[in-house]
Structure 1
Amino acid sequence: RIDELRDTHRLESHSQSDQIERLRKQAAETEALLKASHDTAAQAESENASTRAELETLKKELERTQGLAKEEEEKRVKAISLLKTVRQKLVKAEKDRDEARGELAAVKEREKGDRDKEEAERSRLQKEIDSVNAERERAVAGLKGQFDKEVAGVKERYEREISALKGQFELEAISTKSGYSKELSSKDAQISTLEKSVNALSNDKNNLFEQMQLRQAESESLQSHLESLQSQNAELQFQLREANDRLALLSENLAEARHEQDAKAQAPLASSEEVARLLSATQSKYETKLADMRKDLLATEKERNDAEADWSRKLREKTREADELKRVLASSAKNREESQATVDGLASQIDQLKQEIQQYKRQVVELQHQATSGNDQENNLKDTINELKTKVMALERNAEENSKRETHLKATNKTLREELRKVQSSAALLERQRHPGVGYWSRQDSSSTESRTSVSSETPSRTTSPAPSQSKSDEEVNLEYLRNVILQFLEHKEMRPNLVKVLSIILHFTPQETRRLVAKV
């Protein structure tokens, strides 16, 4: 049984050491996987840093485009201010038209050249802005697509890795838990069997101890019986010595009787028959006594020898039984010590396995913490990606707003150019249709009229009335423009200050009337 226990213990220790090696290998593999996941996380962080650098470059390009847009807006403001100055010059030219027709024509030609140059410059700048916007949009679209692809790839890779690690950790935890439960059940079974064997050995020991006590009591009783037999033997020896003494006394008596007989024979002879009878009687009597005593002596010697042989045999058997009991007790004590040593060894192994299981549990907890930290890093990366996406969307919105603003500025410039053209045409038409002495011009002094007449006389071809068809079409255009201006004046309150100036130019209001209307509006 002890050999079987040793074999099972050796096999179990070998299997446990193999299982521990497998668990250590699995822990090393999990550490390698964690290192690989950390490397991938570092690579993803480097990729995010590169994308951030690209976004910084895009921001710089956007700032540069915004600067260009601001410059364009400044140019537009300058153009508007220039248009305002042109309007002022036109008003001044209309006031002093009769005095400086030549100057007005030169100014118009110069303004026309400036406008052509400005339009050419504006068209060139517009083309450059369009090309820059197209390139920027293409670059932003390419970067956005690439960034979305990279983000999707990184996200899928991280999700796959995290799902694989999670499944692996769950499988390892389940396998470790099942192995631990199996080992605990097997160890509990072994402990229960060992406890049963220890209890059986203790019961055997108690039975053997009781048997030994019984045998010891029997040996003590036999020892006392032997002592009683020895005392009986001593009594028999004493009786034998007494018998020998009596025999010696009888022999002395016989010798005395013979001596007396010899003396009597020397004395006067009695009857021979009587003497022979006495001698024969005494001799027979003493011979019978001697025979009885010899028989008793032989019987006592035989009994003594038988008792000694019996007691020696019983003593040998008892000593043999006592030696056997001592050997059994020694073997049981040795077995008990060995079983106690095996139980202690198994208990130490159980404690060691419990410590290893605790270590594995701590490793599993650490791996779970690392998995949670990986999830946190992934969430942080997702947050950064979302922030970058929001920034890209904000930049796109800014770019769209800038483009809309540019289109709005273009539309306003176009409308201003059209209004200026219409104002100029209406002013020219009204100037051609105006009668002398009407409105503001009738209140000027005679010197201005003389100067106007002189200027008009110098340029008779310019002051000649146009053809009837041309004047009719100009009048229709002027009335259409006046109708549109009045409709806008009535519909849009925010445009009334500008429209007051336009109406003052069309209807030739005085400066006092213009200021009064501006104050009212």
Structure 2
Amino acid sequence: MADKSSEEEIARLKDELNEAIQSREQKMEKERGVMRGLVEKIRTLTEERDEWTQKYNDAVQQSGQQENGTKQVASLKNQVEELLLEKEESKKSLLHFMKKADEAERALADATTSQQQPDQVAALQSKVDTLEASIKEATTEHERILQEEKEKLISQHEHTLEDEKKKWTTEHERILQEEKEKLISQHEHTLEDEKKKWTTEHERILQEEKDKLTAKMDQLIAEHSERLSQLDQAAASTVDHQQQLNEARDTIQSLEQKLKDKEESVKVAKDMLHERDMELDTARKQVDTLRASQSELEDKSKKYVNVLSKTKKQILKLEKEKADAVEEMNTIREQLSTAESSNDTLKENIKRLETNVSQLEDDVNKLNGRLHSNESEMTILRKERKEAVDAKNKMFDELQIKQAEFESSQNLAESLQHRLTESERQLKEVNERMTAMEEYQSMVEELRRELDDNKKRFTKEKEKWATELDDCKSQLQSAKANGDSAHSKVEELNQQIKSLNDELNAVRDDLNVKTKGLQVLEGDKEALLERIDDLEADLEKSVQDRDDAQDAMKKLEEKVQNLEQAKNTHDKELESLRVREGHLKTLNKTLKDEVRKLSKNVLAESQQQLQQQQQQQQQQQQASRSSSPAEPSSPAPAPAVKTKEDEINLEYLRNVILKFLENKPTRAQLIPVLTMMLKFSPEEIRRLQAKA
């Protein structure tokens, strides 16, 4: 969820940056519109100035001055192009001279009507000459002032155009540079493999745009020189300039389209990151399941340890029983040794019993062989027990290793959780930055509203100026009859132009303030972009950590599978141990029964032998008393004893063999006993093993 919120915040940041760029472009369009309006206003003012000069010349022509005066006024008409900015002193002097000319005309009219004397006419003529001289001086002074105002206007116009050109070029280059850096940064983060291709293409496009802009700037410079030569061509050049601005806008739109394409690629990368985050969530769930399975494995391992302890106790019990059997065999051996010693002491007296003793020795050898086979089986059982103990120790060591690996995996999961908390903290910081960005956005919207208000105010003032110009036109029509009113209107228009210039300067100051604020916002935008880049790098790092965690989880899964396989093998081994334990129990039971039966048979035989010996001694005593030879009759009971013993042994062997053959799993254990008793060859042993 944290990764999703971070991606949504990054997308929102990018949307806000795009909106800021669009608002910046709209502001530039507004500034360009203001400049175009100013140019159009200057053009309308020049047209109105021409109309005023034409009307003034018509009024002067209607005044009926003399030819010299009309010629001088005509030359004045050709020179009065910047009458709006003439100084008040020249205007006052013109008004004074015009009043004097009217007085002179009235005086001439009076002279003609009253037909005064020639001296008065000469005086009036001299006054007229002085007036003409003063008018010439005034016209020269007025021409000089007009020339100065014209040069001043031209220089101001050049400076404004140069400033606008520099401002537009720097702004356009800055926008292009920002777009270039933004596209390159996004390109490096999202499509690293296509970096060189897109950067070269982007640089080529920028170079072409730069060449186009330089060519357009050269055209603008040429047009500017043409404007300086002819003011009437300024309007046409502004139209061309507008077309060029439209073309530049189209190029900016194409760059914005490319930027949108890059953003779509960034969205695709974000979708991929989202999928990886989903995989990380599944991996976390798998970790939880593995933890649960690990707890189950621990429970099972405890159960196995308990089972092994039980088997160990049973093995100890079997060993104890085996020790008891060995003790019983030792007692039997001691009894046999006592019997042999008694036989050695009685050899001289009971030679007739040597055959029985030899038979007993054969039986003892057989019993020793059986004991040897039992001991060999016990050694086999000891080896199997040792192998089981080793397997148990090995399994315990493996369990400890798996426990250590599980603890390391838990540590890794805790470190990953710590990193996730760290990334969540960074996302909280980004949210705080986003709130700050929203505040900046509100400031930008306020600036937009202020610009809209300025635009509305400008339109209102423009309408007001239009109405005032209409009023001025109506007033100029009335000025044909009265030149003084026309001059007063000219002064009012000059004041209006001054006020307009002041307002223009105020608007420029506002624009400078707004541009500074926008520069500050752009700096904040760059800082946010850097922060976004850092966040994307952190996301890539977290994705790498997540991939590493997934690899570790895969390894853990493999280890868990190996543990399960080992568990299955251990279960099988435990099953086999249980079966072997049952076999051992049955063998131990049969051995105990066999030992008991053998001990009973030996005791019975020893008692019979003692009774026979006593009977023989009694018979010998009786024979010695009667002095009759009775030796051939003494060995008669020995064959009976032998046949009885053979019958007992055969019956016992038959029962044991039948018990082993009835149970199919115990048939294989009967093979070594049969091989020892019947002395089978290796081929016969293989046949028996194949049948078992």
Higher RCO structure, 1 or 2 (CA under 8 Å, sep 6+):
1
Structure possessing the higher radius of gyration over alpha carbons: 1
TM-score by shorter chain over 0.5: no
TM-score by length of 1: 0.44
TM-score by length of 2: 0.34
